[in-house]
A and B are shown apart, each in its own frame.
Chain A
Amino acid sequence: MVQAMRGQRAASFEWMVLPAVAFVLLMVVFPFGYGIWLSLLEYKLGSPITFVGLGNYAALLKDEQFWNGLRLTFILYLFALLIQLVLGVALGIFIHGIHVLRGLVRTVMVSPFMLPPVVIGMMSIVVLDPAMGVANYLLKSAGLPTSHFLASTNYVIFTVIAIDTWQWTPFVALIVLGGLQALPARVYEAAAIDGALGWRRFVYITLPMLGPTILTAAVLRSVDLLRFFDVIYITTQGGPGFASTTLNIYAYRRGFEFSDIGYASALMITLSSIVLASVLVFSQFRRRLTW
Chain B
Amino acid sequence: MKRRGFATLITATALSLGSGSALAQAFNWKKHDGQTVNLLLNNHPWSQAVREMAPEFTAKTGIRLRVEIFNEEQFRARLTTQLQAKSSDIDVFMSLKFREGGVYDKAGWFADLTPFLNSPTATAPDFNFNDFGDALRKGETVNGKLVGLPINLEGPLFYWNKDIFAKCNVAEPKFLEEIPEAAAKLKACSARGDATVWAARGIRGAIPYAVSAFIYNSGGDFATPDRKPGLCQPNSVKGVEMYANLLKDYGPPGAANHTFTQVIEMLGQGRLAMTHESSNEFSNIMKFPGRDKDIGVKVLPPGKATGISKPIVFGWGVSISNFSKNKEAAWYFMQWATSNEMQTKLVQRGVAPPRASVFNGLAFKAWTTELPVRQAWANALVEISKTGTDVSFPPSERIIEAREMVGGGVQKVFLGQGAAKDVMCQVDADVVNLK
5 A-B pairs within 8 Å (CB atoms) are namely A45-B84, A45-B103, A45-B104, A130-B253, A237-B257
A240 in the interface (beta carbon within 8 A): yes
* Residues in A whose Cβ lies below 8 Å from that of B196: 131
Taken together as a complex, chains A and B put the C-alpha atoms of A130 and B196 apart, in Å, by 13
A257 in the interface (beta carbon within 8 A): yes
For residues 235 through 291 of chain A, which have their beta carbon under 8 Å from a beta carbon of chain B?
235-237, 239-242, 252, 256-259, 261
* Residues in B whose Cβ lies below 8 Å from that of A129: 254
Whole-angstrom distance between the Cβ of B93 and the nearest chain A Cβ? 15
* Residues in A whose Cβ lies below 8 Å from that of B105: 46
B254 touches A153 (CB 8 A): no
Whole-angstrom distance between the Cβ of A260 and the nearest chain B Cβ? 8
A95 in the interface (beta carbon within 8 A): no
Known contacts A239-B203, A241-B411, A241-B412: A46-B76 contact under CB 8 Å: no
Please pick, from A235, A236, A239, the residue contacting B411 in the complex, using a CB distance under 8 A.
Answer: A239
- Mostly, the A contact residues are loop
* Residues in A whose Cβ lies below 8 Å from that of B256: 151, 153, 239-241
B155 in the interface (beta carbon within 8 A): no
Whole-angstrom distance between the Cβ of B273 and the nearest chain A Cβ? 14
B417 touches A257 (CB 8 A): no
Taken together as a complex, chains A and B put the C-alpha atoms of A252 and B412 apart, in Å, by 22
A227 in the interface (beta carbon within 8 A): no
- Chain B: residues with Cβ within 8 Å of the partner, total of 32
Please pick, from B102, B253, B255, the residue contacting A46 in the complex, using a CB distance under 8 A.
Answer: B102
A257 touches B107 (CB 8 A): no
B253 touches A151 (CB 8 A): yes
B294 in the interface (beta carbon within 8 A): no
B257 touches A259 (CB 8 A): no
- Chain B, residues 96-116, CB within 8 Å of chain A (1/0): the string is 000000111111000000000
Given contact pairs A45-B84, A129-B254, A259-B103, a sample of 18 additional A-B residue pairs in the complex whose CB atoms are under 8 Å apart = A45-B106, A130-B252, A131-B253, A149-B254, A151-B254, A151-B255, A237-B73, A237-B257, A239-B203, A240-B202, A240-B256, A241-B256, A241-B408, A242-B408, A257-B76, A257-B205, A259-B80, A261-B84
Whole-angstrom distance between the Cβ of A35 and the nearest chain B Cβ? 15
* Residues in A whose Cβ lies below 8 Å from that of B408: 241-242
Please pick, from B107, B202, B204, B254, the residue contacting A150 in the complex, using a CB distance under 8 A.
Answer: B254
Which 3 A-B pairs rank lowest in CB-CB distance, beginning with the nearest? A240-B256, A151-B254, A46-B106
* Residues in B whose Cβ lies below 8 Å from that of A148: 253-254
B415 touches A241 (CB 8 A): yes
B77 in the interface (beta carbon within 8 A): yes
A107 in the interface (beta carbon within 8 A): no
Known contacts A45-B84, A240-B256, A241-B417: A256-B106 contact under CB 8 Å: no
Taken together as a complex, chains A and B put the C-alpha atoms of A57 and B256 apart, in Å, by 31
Known contacts A45-B80, A256-B81: A131-B252 contact under CB 8 Å: yes
B12 in the interface (beta carbon within 8 A): no
Q: Which residue of A lies closest to B105 (CB)?
A: A46
Whole-angstrom distance between the Cβ of A193 and the nearest chain B Cβ? 60
Known contacts A45-B80, A46-B104, A47-B106: A240-B411 contact under CB 8 Å: yes
A240 touches B253 (CB 8 A): no
Report the interface size class on chain A: 20 to 34
Whole-angstrom distance between the Cβ of A66 and the nearest chain B Cβ? 15
Taken together as a complex, chains A and B put the C-alpha atoms of A47 and B106 apart, in Å, by 7
* Residues in B whose Cβ lies below 8 Å from that of A258: 398, 400-401, 404
* Residues in B whose Cβ lies below 8 Å from that of A47: 106
Taken together as a complex, chains A and B put the C-alpha atoms of A129 and B257 apart, in Å, by 10
B107 touches A45 (CB 8 A): yes
B253 touches A256 (CB 8 A): no
Whole-angstrom distance between the Cβ of B233 and the nearest chain A Cβ? 24
Whole-angstrom distance between the Cβ of B426 and the nearest chain A Cβ? 12
Taken together as a complex, chains A and B put the C-alpha atoms of A291 and B401 apart, in Å, by 54
Taken together as a complex, chains A and B put the C-alpha atoms of A242 and B203 apart, in Å, by 11
Known contacts A47-B106, A153-B415, A240-B415: A257-B400 contact under CB 8 Å: yes
Whole-angstrom distance between the Cβ of A46 and the nearest chain B Cβ? 3
* Residues in B whose Cβ lies below 8 Å from that of A236: 257
Taken together as a complex, chains A and B put the C-alpha atoms of A237 and B104 apart, in Å, by 24
For residues 302 through 361 of chain B, which have their beta carbon under 8 Å from a beta carbon of chain A?
none
Q: Which residue of A lies closest to B416 (CB)?
A: A153
Taken together as a complex, chains A and B put the C-alpha atoms of A236 and B262 apart, in Å, by 13
Known contacts A239-B203, A240-B411: A257-B77 contact under CB 8 Å: yes
A237 touches B203 (CB 8 A): yes
Whole-angstrom distance between the Cβ of A222 and the nearest chain B Cβ? 27
Q: Which residue of A lies closest to B259 (CB)?
A: A237
B103 touches A131 (CB 8 A): no
Please pick, from B80, B203, B255, the residue contacting A256 in the complex, using a CB distance under 8 A.
Answer: B80
Taken together as a complex, chains A and B put the C-alpha atoms of A129 and B262 apart, in Å, by 11
* Residues in A whose Cβ lies below 8 Å from that of B202: 240
B254 touches A239 (CB 8 A): no
* Residues in B whose Cβ lies below 8 Å from that of A149: 254
A256 touches B77 (CB 8 A): yes
Q: Which residue of A lies closest to B102 (CB)?
A: A46
Q: Which residue of A lies closest to B196 (CB)?
A: A131
Taken together as a complex, chains A and B put the C-alpha atoms of A239 and B103 apart, in Å, by 26
A256 touches B76 (CB 8 A): yes
Whole-angstrom distance between the Cβ of A156 and the nearest chain B Cβ? 9
Whole-angstrom distance between the Cβ of A45 and the nearest chain B Cβ? 5
Taken together as a complex, chains A and B put the C-alpha atoms of A252 and B78 apart, in Å, by 12
* Residues in B whose Cβ lies below 8 Å from that of A256: 76-77, 80-81
Whole-angstrom distance between the Cβ of A139 and the nearest chain B Cβ? 13
* Residues in B whose Cβ lies below 8 Å from that of A235: 257
* Residues in B whose Cβ lies below 8 Å from that of A261: 84
Taken together as a complex, chains A and B put the C-alpha atoms of A148 and B416 apart, in Å, by 15
Known contacts A239-B204, A241-B411, A259-B103: A131-B254 contact under CB 8 Å: yes
A46 touches B203 (CB 8 A): no
Please pick, from B102, B204, B257, B412, the residue contacting A151 in the complex, using a CB distance under 8 A.
Answer: B257
